């Protein structure tokens, strides 16, 4: 197979923008799409606009040795849709801002755009604009996502009250375990930094940890769960997990002025992920709490509103929703494991 290594510098900005625009699906709420000075979008009548931005930076958030460009495009949008979901918002539009190294391959840009647009199409998100510019350093994929939410359905971080129950969607720890496994496999496969051998790295992974690696590479934003939590007014507070469950719990507690007591044995951790952490001599609940990249929703609920959580469960299909603890008067953040109690591990912070 002949691999086309034409670079973005050889093709030029206008041609690159045309390649991305050719992939986009028109949506009826877009009045002016890409190609003008700005996009024009009709808001949802009676709803509020929800705005979020999040960037993925090469060497900080992803490693091209084991992150294929299509996964980078997927994830750049997914992390933003996850933020909208955490507000109870329906996603509507996205802007894609790319800072590209001169030697970035056009084929890789196509794949990145494919991953981005495929996820956008799955949630009927209109890609309304963006920006392409050169980078004298790393690849940066910066995305802004816009959603809509009714004023009485907004999910905030600040509403948790003592006595509320704490829930998390899906499972935790897979993002961290998947990243660890991919890093180890990349070293084993002898990939050079900068070069991409993502297929070879995936092949070198033990089969048992591939699902977790997949979760790390292509997280699924919990769009429907967030929407249903808002519509059913089931949650007193909600946020999404990007920097780990411990970080999420701490942020809700801080914004709400409460504490939390989390049951280590209640954490939903997949069996393969438990075994991976044990092989790494890590305590699975601690590793799952500290690790990032899960993009699940964590939320709190009044005990009297348990029925609302049950209703949301039936609406989100196969996605588990698990009770993991309770909100306390605080301010302590406690983790109960077996008979003992300990302080919840800290979350991840950039620059630290």
Residues 220-239 that bind a second copy (CB under 8 A): 238-239
Output 4 or 36, the one with its CB closest to a second copy.
36
Least distance in angstroms from the C-beta of 312 to a second copy: 18
Least distance in angstroms from the C-beta of 57 to a second copy: 6
Output 89 or 209, the one with its CB closest to a second copy.
89
Output 211 or 348, the one with its CB closest to a second copy.
348
Least distance in angstroms from the C-beta of 131 to a second copy: 5
138 binds a second copy (CB under 8 A): yes
Instruction: Return the residue of 24, 78, 87, 189 that touches a second copy, per CB under 8 A.
Output: 87
Helix/strand/coil for 228: helix
Least distance in angstroms from the C-beta of 289 to a second copy: 19
Question: Interior CA angle at 66 toward 62 and 69, to 5°?
Answer: 70
d(CA 4, CA 2): 6
Output 92 or 261, the one with its CB closest to a second copy.
92
At residue 318, what are phi and psi to the nearest 5 degrees?
A: -85, -5
Output 51 or 334, the one with its CB closest to a second copy.
51
Q: How far is CA 12 from CA 23, 103, 131, 132, in A?
A: 18, 12, 13, 10
Q: Which two tokens stand for residue 68?
A: 């294929």
Return the half-sphere exposure (C-beta side, CA atoms, 13 A cut-off) of residue 302. Answer: 8
Question: Taking each helix axis from N to C terminus, what angle separates 210-217 and 174-188, rounded to the nearest 10 degrees?
Answer: 100
Q: Are 344 and 249 in contact, with CB atoms under 8 Å apart? A: yes
d(CA 31, CA 330): 49
Residues 11-70 within binding reach of a second copy (CB under 8 A): 11-14, 16, 31-32, 35-43, 48-55, 57-61
Site string for a second copy, 276-315 (x = CB under 8 A): ----------------------------------------
- CA 140 to chain CA mean position, Å: 16
Output 233 or 275, the one with its CB closest to a second copy.
233
Instruction: Return the residue of 6, 18, 25, 102 that touches a second copy, per CB under 8 A.
Output: 102
Q: Are 55 and 143 in contact, with CB atoms under 8 Å apart? A: yes
Instruction: Return the residue of 99, 160, 229, 326 that touches a second copy, per CB under 8 A.
Output: 99
Instruction: Give the count of residues interacting with a second copy (CB under 8 A).
Output: 72
Least distance in angstroms from the C-beta of 215 to a second copy: 20
Residues 149-168 within binding reach of a second copy (CB under 8 A): 149, 151, 154, 156-158
Q: Which residues pair with 238 in a beta bridge?
A: 299
Instruction: Return the residue of 6, 25, 124, 131 that touches a second copy, per CB under 8 A.
Output: 131
Instruction: Return the residue of 26, 136, 317, 338 that touches a second copy, per CB under 8 A.
Output: 136
Closest alpha carbon to 167 in 252, 87, 73: 252
Instruction: Return the residue of 6, 25, 133, 280 that touches a second copy, per CB under 8 A.
Output: 133
Instruction: Return the residue of 19, 27, 111, 135 that touches a second copy, per CB under 8 A.
Output: 135
Least distance in angstroms from the C-beta of 230 to a second copy: 12
Q: Which two tokens stand for residue 44?
A: 């949802």
Helix/strand/coil for 94: strand
d(CA 49, CA 38): 17
Q: Which two tokens stand for residue 165?
A: 């129950």
């Amino acid at each position: 197979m002949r691999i086309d290594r034409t670079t973005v510098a050889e093709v030029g900005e206008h041609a690159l923008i045309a390649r991305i625009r050719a992939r986009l699906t028109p949506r009826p709420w877009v009045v002016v799409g890409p190609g003008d000075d700005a996009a024009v979008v009709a808001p949802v009548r009676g709803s509020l606009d929800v705005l979020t931005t999040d960037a993925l930076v090469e060497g900080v958030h992803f490693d091209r040795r084991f992150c294929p460009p299509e996964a980078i495009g997927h994830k750049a949008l997914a992390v933003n849709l996850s933020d909208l979901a955490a507000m109870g918002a329906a996603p509507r539009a996205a802007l894609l801002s790319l800072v590209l190294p001169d030697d970035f391959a056009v084929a890789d840009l196509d794949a990145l755009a494919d991953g981005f647009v495929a996820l956008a199409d799955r949630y009927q998100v209109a890609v309304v604009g963006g920006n392409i510019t050169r980078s004298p350093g790393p690849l940066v994929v910066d995305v802004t996502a816009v959603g809509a939410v009714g004023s009485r359905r907004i999910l905030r971080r600040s509403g948790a009250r003592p006595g509320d129950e704490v829930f998390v969607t899906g499972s935790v720890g897979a993002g961290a375990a998947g990243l660890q496994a991919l890093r180890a496999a990349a070293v084993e496969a002898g990939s050079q930094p900068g070069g991409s051998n993502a297929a070879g790295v995936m092949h070198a992974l033990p089969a048992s940890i591939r699902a977790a690696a997949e979760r790390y590479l292509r997280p699924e934003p919990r769009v429907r769960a967030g929407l249903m939590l808002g519509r059913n007014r089931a949650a007193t507070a909600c946020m999404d997990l990007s920097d780990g469950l411990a970080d999420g719990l701490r942020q809700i507690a801080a914004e709400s002025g409460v504490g939390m007591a989390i049951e280590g044995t209640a954490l939903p951790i997949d069996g393969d992920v438990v075994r991976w952490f044990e092989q790494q001599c890590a305590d699975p609940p601690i590793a799952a709490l500290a690790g990032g990249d899960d993009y699940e929703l964590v939320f709190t609920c009044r005990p009297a509103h348990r029925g609302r959580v049950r209703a949301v469960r039936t609406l989100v299909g196969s996605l588990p929703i698990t009770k993991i603890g309770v909100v306390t008067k605080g301010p302590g953040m406690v983790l109960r494991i077996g008979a003992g109690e300990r302080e919840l591990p800290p979350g991840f912070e950039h620059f630290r």
